[in-house]
A = this chain, B = another copy of it.
Amino acid sequence: MRGIKDRVAILGMGCTKFGERWESSAADLMVEAAQEAYADAGIAPKDIQAAWVGTASSFRTGQPLAEALKLDYVPITRVENACATATDAFRNACYAVAAGVYDMVLALGVEKLKDSGYSGLAIPEAPGSDVAPPTPPPAQFAMTATRYFHHYGIPFEEGKRTLAKIAAKNHHNGTLNPKAHFQREVSVEQVVKAPMVAWPLGLFDCCGVSDGAAAAIITTPEIARSLRPDPVLVKALGLAVGAFGILRSDWDFVHFPETVRASRAAYQEAGISDPRQELDLAMVHDCFTITELIIYEDLGFSPRGQASRDVASGAFTLEGDLPVNTDGGLKCFGHPVGASGIRMMYEVYQQLQGRAGPRQLRKADLGLTHNLGGRPGSFTCSVAILGR
């Protein structure tokens, strides 16, 4: 067995503006993301030998991608894996290239949520609902927050302000990103005082419900280097699925073991021993502010129970030592489920190439993306590490 490290490269990427795209169909969004990726890669549609499309609920089969992009007779696989859908489509595309079966493929994630039953919070069914309990996601993660505060003895007001700082950080990053769904600053006070959605999570603790698509052209490192000076290499791909739900006996309810497993597998594959020191940026699955807080610990960025201290010190802001969700995150870039994982890679890709505009980090050589889907105890967690 050998890892994926340095065996596949990203030759080009594209991403639509996320948001309320009432005027655009899923097909329109796929074309928009793919065209940008083709142009960025300097290739033509006919160069695509195979494709993987990730969508949680916008359509079935790979055929709608064939139809939208006129990829006639091309092999197309549809991957669906809750909030890890896009990253897992990307992962399978990478394996096919690493196997040498194809040397130029497309991985694309897409979701139309604003004109679906998922356009609001008070919905009976979310994508992946077959495995979700009736409890809607805000309530599930709210319980994680109260448990976390209790477990570590964090007073409510203090915990609430810590979460608010995460929201304010991601909102600030979103103001620097013209493709983000939400591009307005919010203050910590505004977040704290916002209407409650599921106590202690208020309106600004919850990510957006958005439409969008993102695409990646994947090839071999050799081909990539022959076509552009700054391709991005895949350093690791980790995926872990929890089997036992809340019946899991070894679980303290204040971390997500799937993230620990997926990230440790990825760190090993990438040869990373100290992620806090070695990573330059991370895009993580901040579906709720409490999720991002816990992810800091699960990914090894902060010691268990001490992420609040790092939030207080600004460690994860654009000026911090490990900027997280530099593009606004799910919170502000938005969360079209099947597109989010590749959207995260799009930001890492641009940061690594020095093309992130006003969000550009001084040092960006190694970045991580992280998705978490499903419900606590039975998460599907994907981690990807990209580098130069």
- By a beta-carbon cutoff of 8 Å, the part of chain A in contact with chain B is 1-4, 7, 49-50, 56, 59-64, 66-67, 69-82, 88, 91-92, 95-96, 98-103, 127-131, 238-245, 257-258, 261-262, 373-374, 378, 380
B66 engages A241 (CB within 8 Å):
yes
In the complex, are the beta carbons of A239 and B63 less than 8 A apart? Answer: no
The residues of B that contact A81 with a CB separation of less than 8 Å are: 61-62, 76-78
**Bound Cα distance A69, B243 (Å):** 8
Given contacts A92-B92, A95-B96, A239-B75, contact A64 B101 (CB under 8 A): no
* Chain B residues near A79 (CB-CB < 8 A): 77-80
Q: How far does the alpha carbon of A79 sit from the alpha carbon of B96 in the complex, in Å?
A: 15
* Closest-CB distance, A227 to chain B (whole angstroms): 16
In this complex, the member of A77, A79, A96, A131 whose beta carbon has the largest number of chain B beta carbons within 10 angstroms is A77
Task: Judge whether A130 and B60 touch: CB under 8 Å.
Answer: yes
Given contacts A60-B131, A77-B79, A378-B63, A242 and B72 within 8 Å (CB-CB)? yes
A239 to B61, CA, bound (A): 13
Q: How far is the CA of A374 from the CA of B78 in the complex (A)?
A: 13
- Are B76 and A63 within 8 A (Cβ)? no
Query: Chain B residues with Cβ under 8 A from A76's Cβ?
Result: 81, 239, 241, 380
Least distance between A372 CB and chain B CB atoms (Å): 12
A90 to chain B: closest CB distance in Å? 11
What residues of chain B lie closer than 8 Å to A75, measured between beta carbons? 238-241, 262
Q: Of B69, B92, B242, which one neighbours A73 at CB under 8 angstroms? A: B242
Q: Give Cα A198–Cα B171 distance, bound, in whole angstroms.
A: 58
- Known: A1-B103, A61-B380, A72-B243; 9 extra A-B contacts, CB below 8 A, are A1-B102, A60-B129, A64-B131, A66-B241, A67-B245, A74-B241, A76-B380, A77-B88, A80-B80
Nearest 7 CB-CB pairings of A with B: A75-B239, A98-B99, A99-B99, A66-B243, A72-B243, A59-B130, A66-B241
**Cβ-defined contact, A131 with B63, below 8 A:** yes
Which of B82, B101, B261 contacts A95 (CB under 8 A)? B101
- Chain B residues within an 8 Å CB radius of A82: 60-61, 63
A3 vs B102: C-alpha distance in the bound complex, in angstroms?
A: 9
A-B contact pairs, 11 of them (CB 8 A): A2-B101, A4-B99, A59-B130, A59-B131, A66-B241, A67-B131, A73-B243, A77-B81, A78-B81, A98-B99, A99-B99
> Complex formed: what's the CA distance from A258 to B261 in Å?
40
Known: A73-B257, A240-B74. A63 touches B101 (CB 8 A): no
Contact of A61 among B63, B128, B244 (CB under 8 A): B128
User: Within the complex, what minimum Cβ distance (angstroms) separates A7 from chain B?
Assistant: 8
Contact of A258 among B73, B77, B373 (CB under 8 A): B73
Are B241 and A128 in contact, CB atoms less than 8 angstroms apart? no
In the complex the two chains form, what is the Cα distance from A100 to B71 in whole Å? 29
Given contacts A59-B131, A92-B92, contact A101 B257 (CB under 8 A): no
